[in-house]
A and B are shown apart, each in its own frame.
Chain A
Amino acid sequence: MGSSDLLDNEVLKELEKIKSYPWVTPGIVEDSLKSVKELIAESIEAGLSRGTECGYAGTKFLFSLLEAAGKDSADSIEEANEIFTVGMRIADKLWGFLKEGIDPEALDRVIPQYVEKVWHKG
């Protein structure tokens, strides 16, 4: 399976949602997604529960974005909720991919493509 086959529409739709926040830049999104992927791979390995860990991955996504942007906190609870939810859903997708046996390295290659698609498509 080529990495472009992994370009999942739902993931793209999720990422679209956070595009409007000016401080959320493609570079930091890419890094955050990679760390989420890393976490999910390790969590599967450790035999942890999908529901709980994807929730945690949502916070990981949120907090690594905040940190990379040099922000101490989100600007509003709505913003935090949205980014968290996006992170959680993407994490769940990634969990599905990895469970299906997709090579983690293929995911690493596809993550920049997601970002590219959402932020530079215009």
Chain B
Amino acid sequence: MRRSQIFIQLILLATLVSLPVSYFLLPSLYAGTGSTRVIEVKMRQFGFIPERIYLRVGDKVVFKVTSLDVTHGFYIDGFNIKESVLPGETKEIGPIEFNQPGKFKLRCATPCGPLHPFMVADIVVEPDYPIYIFFGAVAVVAIATVAYILAKPPRGELLGVSLDREIDLLEVRGIGSLLKRFLRWRGYHFLVILPNLAVFMLIFVAGTIGNPMGAFNFSIAVVWILWFALVEFMILFGSRLWCGVCPIPALGEWIARRRLVGVHEPRKWLSLNKKWPKRLNNMWIPALSFLGISLIVPWLVTRPAVTVLLFLVLIILGVVLYLVSPPRNFCRSICPAGGYIGYHSLSSILAVRSKDPSVCDKCVVKSCVRGSPRSYGCPWKLYPGGNKWNIYCGLDFECLKSCPVNNMTLKLRMIGKDLAQRIRMKADEAWMGFIRFGLALFYEMVFFGPYAWIKDWGNMLNVYGANLLTLYLLTPTLEGFISWLKWAGIVSLTCLLLIPAVFLVFSWLAKIAAGARKESTKKVFLAFSYALSPYGLLIWIAFALTLLGINWAYPIRVFSDPLGLGWNLLGTADINWQPFMPTIWPYVQMSITLFGLALAINITYSIAMNLFKDHGKAIRATAVMSIFHVGAALFFAMVLMG
């Protein structure tokens, strides 16, 4: 190993590990060093007054808590206190000793309305050392990464890891051959879809007639906590693995093929066989529909009716489009989930690739494209043998089955490998990146931040919940609608204009700094935007981890009582809502984000090398772009700890 490799890996490892460790070191220093105070707190749907409470480390605090409307629950992350507060009642809670400096969440612990899960306030225990630690860590990671690329790492390397290092999963001793047999078995696809289809059915039933309150409804808890979080991990470790098991297009696929498992002959689809318009072969619709769905998130994740409606629309579109123009055009260019999953899959560590590209060059059989009695030609319309990108590889594994010389395989590689190796420049994908990046920061700030007013805007109306049968309850008032428009406006402007505009300015500056005036700014801007693919993914993973850590109890509960009718099928219905080590999550989130930062800087350098073909130019451009990425990390640190 070269010295610069050891250096970057040691620094990264040390910083990312020491962040969570610092959490455990701080508190013992301050036990009982402060004064005793009484603080009045009012609770209302869906916030606390005051929104932020400032304490000195070591303080003992008695909270005098009043509810202004309905029954709420008073809960502080990291303390074993959960008190319900009835309307009009004032309760004294404490004294509680705050020996840990930093920011803590005050949460509502009693479901009190649609936005209950997001009813939080901040307690800032000063001096807020953790934020300085966070800032310091951002600086260390950024400087170390820049120092590493200053040492001129070889082209095929990211953060000290050689991009040639790959593991062929189908060759791994023991599991490799089993996996190969499983994936090449024609029944594979049907088998993995089946359980998901069952879950889908349950989602429909629960969303239609189940408990109108999201927290108690299978559709909400499973989709917006479990699925939503797990998919982020799936992307990192499994690329579009979800697309390979997703039931949404399956019905259409089975009908059009007139088969559940086998390959149909003669090869006539039961479909209108229309040509898919070329104009739609991109990610604009997925990107914009993902943004659109994000705008109604305060509804979507709290009212089963809205979730079920969304699923209905998706499944109908999925089936109908399959029957109009097969195969996976819906997945490629309509589905909002397919869009962001594909975009971030560009950075995934898993990929279906040819073992030996030269074999594919020589091949005239091309059964991976034209199909064979063993398999369909790639349903995602790729040429698998020559494919270099994950974005539209749906992990159907048809090419694994179809190759007459078994030249296709499944590989594990370094995160971001493909993006570091060659330039990609597509505006639709760039905007998908901005939207996802913007929403990651925005969601963290809004849903887990203390500002109740912005949640009020997004909420639109205060109906607790509705299932499909009581959908009419969700008719918004004019006033509610107007406030929602403000919310939608802020979110859209941030994602569609503000972030891209800032990024554009940085790209232009980077180009100037690189001394590449002649290079088109658009090209530089689009190429650099792909650094957000791994960076955004890691921030989302950080978000997802916390989502699961705080709310793990909901999905577990609903498996016992999917409709929220008081059943207890598996004996897990009574599990208490109890966040799992909630105070450690910000530290873990920051660690993950910093790994994303290091990747973003390094990939930017690789992209710059591919663009400018010159180390000096690439370094200067990277330095400028790094300011953007560091800024985002600092912003995120503020949201978590500031």
Query: Which positions in A face B, CB cutoff 8 Å?
Result: 39, 42-43, 45-48, 52-53, 55-56, 58-60, 62-64, 66, 72-74, 76-78, 80-81, 84-85
Question: For residue B570, which residues in chain A have a CB less than 8 angstroms away from its CB?
Answer: none
Contact B362 A46 (CB under 8 A): no
Contact A53 B267 (CB under 8 A): yes
10 pairs, A vs B, C-beta closer than 8 Å: A39-B266, A46-B268, A48-B267, A55-B370, A59-B372, A59-B404, A63-B374, A73-B404, A80-B363, A84-B364
Cross-chain contact of B266 among A45, A77, A85 (Cβ < 8 A): A45
How far does the alpha carbon of A102 sit from the alpha carbon of B265 in the complex, in Å? 22
Q: Which of B369-391 contact A (CB under 8 A)?
A: 370-374
How far does the alpha carbon of A53 sit from the alpha carbon of B403 in the complex, in Å? 18
A39, A53, A74, A80 interface centre (most CB from chain B within 10 Å) = A80
Q: A39-B265, A46-B268, A53-B267 known; A80 and B405 CB under 8 Å?
A: yes
Question: For residue B402, which residues in chain A have a CB less than 8 angstroms away from its CB?
Answer: 59
How far does the alpha carbon of A78 sit from the alpha carbon of B362 in the complex, in Å? 8
Question: For residue A84, which residues in chain B have a CB less than 8 angstroms away from its CB?
Answer: 364-365, 367, 404
Check if B406 is an interface residue, CB within 8 A of chain A. yes
How far does the alpha carbon of A48 sit from the alpha carbon of B268 in the complex, in Å? 7
How far does the alpha carbon of A53 sit from the alpha carbon of B405 in the complex, in Å? 21
Check if B359 is an interface residue, CB within 8 A of chain A. yes
> Smallest distance from the beta carbon of B408 to chain A beta carbons, Å?
11
Contact A73 B266 (CB under 8 A): no
> Smallest distance from the beta carbon of A64 to chain B beta carbons, Å?
7
Cross-chain contact of A42 among B265, B367, B372, B404 (Cβ < 8 A): B265
Contact A76 B266 (CB under 8 A): no
Question: For residue B359, which residues in chain A have a CB less than 8 angstroms away from its CB?
Answer: 77
Cross-chain contact of A76 among B265, B372, B374, B405 (Cβ < 8 A): B405
Contact A77 B363 (CB under 8 A): yes
How far does the alpha carbon of A58 sit from the alpha carbon of B404 in the complex, in Å? 12
Question: For residue A63, which residues in chain B have a CB less than 8 angstroms away from its CB?
Answer: 367, 372-374, 404
Cross-chain contact of B370 among A56, A66, A74, A77 (Cβ < 8 A): A56
Question: For residue A64, which residues in chain B have a CB less than 8 angstroms away from its CB?
Answer: 373
Cross-chain contact of B365 among A42, A45, A53, A80 (Cβ < 8 A): A80
Counting from the closest, the 10 A-B pairs by CB-CB distance are A59-B372, A80-B404, A42-B266, A46-B266, A84-B365, A43-B266, A46-B268, A59-B367, A73-B406, A81-B364
> Smallest distance from the beta carbon of B361 to chain A beta carbons, Å?
9
Contact B365 A59 (CB under 8 A): yes
Contact B404 A56 (CB under 8 A): no
Question: For residue B362, which residues in chain A have a CB less than 8 angstroms away from its CB?
Answer: 77-78, 81
Which chain A residue shows the least CB distance to B369? A55
Question: For residue B374, which residues in chain A have a CB less than 8 angstroms away from its CB?
Answer: 63
Query: What band does the interface of chain B fall in when counting residues whose beta carbon is under 8 Å from A?
Result: 20 to 34
> Smallest distance from the beta carbon of A40 to chain B beta carbons, Å?
9
Question: For residue B406, which residues in chain A have a CB less than 8 angstroms away from its CB?
Answer: 72-73
How far does the alpha carbon of A48 sit from the alpha carbon of B402 in the complex, in Å? 21
How far does the alpha carbon of A49 sit from the alpha carbon of B52 in the complex, in Å? 70
Question: For residue A39, which residues in chain B have a CB less than 8 angstroms away from its CB?
Answer: 265-266
Give per-residue flags for B77-103: 1 if the beta carbon is below 8 A from chain A beta carbons, else 0: 000000000000000000000000000
Contact A85 B268 (CB under 8 A): no
How far does the alpha carbon of A20 sit from the alpha carbon of B370 in the complex, in Å? 27
Q: A55-B370, A60-B373, A66-B404 known; A81 and B363 CB under 8 Å?
A: yes
How far does the alpha carbon of A48 sit from the alpha carbon of B370 in the complex, in Å? 14
How far does the alpha carbon of A77 sit from the alpha carbon of B403 in the complex, in Å? 10
Which chain A residue shows the least CB distance to B377? A56
Question: For residue A66, which residues in chain B have a CB less than 8 angstroms away from its CB?
Answer: 404
Which chain B residue shows the least CB distance to A76? B405
How far does the alpha carbon of A43 sit from the alpha carbon of B363 in the complex, in Å? 25
> Smallest distance from the beta carbon of B170 to chain A beta carbons, Å?
13
Q: A48-B266, A56-B267, A62-B365 known; A73 and B372 CB under 8 Å?
A: no
Question: For residue A77, which residues in chain B have a CB less than 8 angstroms away from its CB?
Answer: 359, 362-363, 365, 404-405, 407
How far does the alpha carbon of A13 sit from the alpha carbon of B83 in the complex, in Å? 88
> Smallest distance from the beta carbon of A85 to chain B beta carbons, Å?
6
> Smallest distance from the beta carbon of A53 to chain B beta carbons, Å?
7
Which chain B residue shows the least CB distance to A49? B267
Q: Which of B251-290 contact A (CB under 8 A)?
A: 265-268
Question: For residue A62, which residues in chain B have a CB less than 8 angstroms away from its CB?
Answer: 365, 367, 372, 404
Question: For residue B267, which residues in chain A have a CB less than 8 angstroms away from its CB?
Answer: 43, 46, 48, 53, 56
Question: For residue A42, which residues in chain B have a CB less than 8 angstroms away from its CB?
Answer: 265-266
Contact A59 B373 (CB under 8 A): yes
How far does the alpha carbon of A64 sit from the alpha carbon of B268 in the complex, in Å? 20
Question: For residue B268, which residues in chain A have a CB less than 8 angstroms away from its CB?
Answer: 46-48
How far does the alpha carbon of A59 sit from the alpha carbon of B265 in the complex, in Å? 13
Contact A59 B405 (CB under 8 A): no
How far does the alpha carbon of A60 sit from the alpha carbon of B359 in the complex, in Å? 20
Contact B266 A59 (CB under 8 A): no
Which chain B residue shows the least CB distance to A60? B373
Question: For residue B365, which residues in chain A have a CB less than 8 angstroms away from its CB?
Answer: 58-59, 62, 77, 80-81, 84
How far does the alpha carbon of A86 sit from the alpha carbon of B363 in the complex, in Å? 14
Question: For residue A53, which residues in chain B have a CB less than 8 angstroms away from its CB?
Answer: 266-267
Which chain A residue shows the least CB distance to B365? A84
> Smallest distance from the beta carbon of B185 to chain A beta carbons, Å?
13
Question: For residue A55, which residues in chain B have a CB less than 8 angstroms away from its CB?
Answer: 370
Q: A59-B371, A59-B372, A81-B364 known; A74 and B404 CB under 8 Å?
A: yes
How far does the alpha carbon of A52 sit from the alpha carbon of B364 in the complex, in Å? 14
Q: A73-B404, A80-B405 known; A56 and B364 CB under 8 Å?
A: no
Contact B372 A56 (CB under 8 A): yes
Contact A85 B364 (CB under 8 A): yes
Which chain A residue shows the least CB distance to B403? A73
> Smallest distance from the beta carbon of A49 to chain B beta carbons, Å?
10
How far does the alpha carbon of A111 sit from the alpha carbon of B373 in the complex, in Å? 21
How far does the alpha carbon of A115 sit from the alpha carbon of B18 in the complex, in Å? 74
Q: A42-B265, A66-B404, A80-B404 known; A59 and B364 CB under 8 Å?
A: no
Which chain A residue shows the least CB distance to B356? A77
A42, A52, A74, A84 interface centre (most CB from chain B within 10 Å) = A84
> Smallest distance from the beta carbon of B207 to chain A beta carbons, Å?
41
How far does the alpha carbon of A42 sit from the alpha carbon of B267 in the complex, in Å? 9
Which chain B residue shows the least CB distance to A58? B365
Extra pairs beyond A63-B367, A80-B405, A81-B365 (15, CB < 8 Å): A39-B266, A42-B265, A46-B268, A48-B268, A56-B372, A58-B365, A59-B370, A60-B373, A62-B404, A63-B373, A64-B373, A73-B404, A80-B404, A81-B362, A81-B363
